[in-house]
């Protein structure tokens, strides 16, 4: 996965946290770290989703930063097409049954206005559940990658999904400090 300019990331070399911050800052710190340990296996995680990102560390630190800046610049270029790109509106396909389309057509403002309103209502109604699920999923992804072989991993996962903070903290207490701390940060919204 490619990094995004508006996200924060955390990089690990084995169980040691090497850097945290924006993609460019993390890339610069990791590149500096790789000078001292060129064979280090680096994993970089998105701080929201725990998805891993790929950064090309070949060349000089300036080369690494320039590639990232070029990537961010290219992603800023808006592709024109259906929708209202200046407003951030993009057209995508929605598949519904015929009676759903008929109902949408009868609504004031038509299908698009009604669908946007329904989505906004659902987002507000489910916000707490969505944040809980996002925290659990992000923590699970990180734990699976970084702590899957550590003691009490499975018990910690059970405690995470059961919402048992004290038990969760107890299960991860023996883990390496940086992994434990990052896991707790990710899990904050799950309890």
Q: Which of 47, 28, 51, 53 is nearest to 182 (CA)?
A: 47
**113-158 pLDDT, tens per residue?**
899 899 999 988 888 899 999 999 999 999 999 999 999 999 999 9
Are 65 and 28 contacting, i.e. CB atoms less than 8 angstroms apart?
Answer: yes
3-state secondary structure of 54: coil
Q: Which of 137, 138, 141, 147 is nearest to 177 (CA)?
A: 147
Question: In terms of C-beta density within 10 A (0-12 exposed, 13-18 middle, 19 or more buried), how is residue 190 classed?
Answer: buried
Q: Can you give the residue ranges of every domain in the chain?
A: 8-76, 83-125, 127-190
Q: Per-residue pLDDT for the chain (191 aa), expressed as one digit of tens each?
A: 888 888 999 999 999 999 999 999 999 999 999 999 999 999 999 999 999 999 999 999 999 999 998 888 877 654 555 556 666 677 788 899 999 999 998 999 888 889 989 999 998 888 889 999 999 999 999 999 999 999 999 999 999 999 999 999 999 999 999 999 999 999 999 99
- Residue 42, strand partner residues: 13
């Amino acid at each position: 996965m490619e990094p995004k300019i508006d996200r924060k990331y955390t990089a690990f070399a084995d169980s040691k946290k090497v850097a945290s911050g924006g993609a460019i800052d993390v890339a610069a710190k990791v590149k500096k770290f790789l000078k001292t340990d060129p064979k280090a296996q680096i994993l970089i995680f998105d701080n929201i989703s725990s998805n891993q990102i790929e950064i090309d560390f070949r060349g000089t630190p300036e080369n690494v930063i320039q590639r990232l800046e070029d990537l961010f610049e290219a992603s800023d270029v808006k592709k024109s097409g259906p929708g209202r790109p200046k407003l951030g509106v993009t057209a995508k396909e929605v598949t519904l049954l015929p009676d759903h389309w008929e109902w949408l057509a009868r609504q004031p403002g038509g299908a698009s206005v009604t669908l946007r309103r329904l989505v906004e209502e659902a987002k507000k109604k489910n916000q707490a559940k969505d944040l809980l699920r996002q925290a659990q999923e992000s923590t699970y992804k990180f734990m699976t990658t970084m702590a899957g072989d550590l003691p009490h991993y499975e018990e910690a996962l059970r405690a995470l999904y059961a919402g048992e903070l004290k038990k969760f903290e107890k299960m991860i207490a023996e883990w390496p400090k940086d992994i434990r701390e990052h896991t707790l940060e990710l899990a904050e919204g799950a309890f």
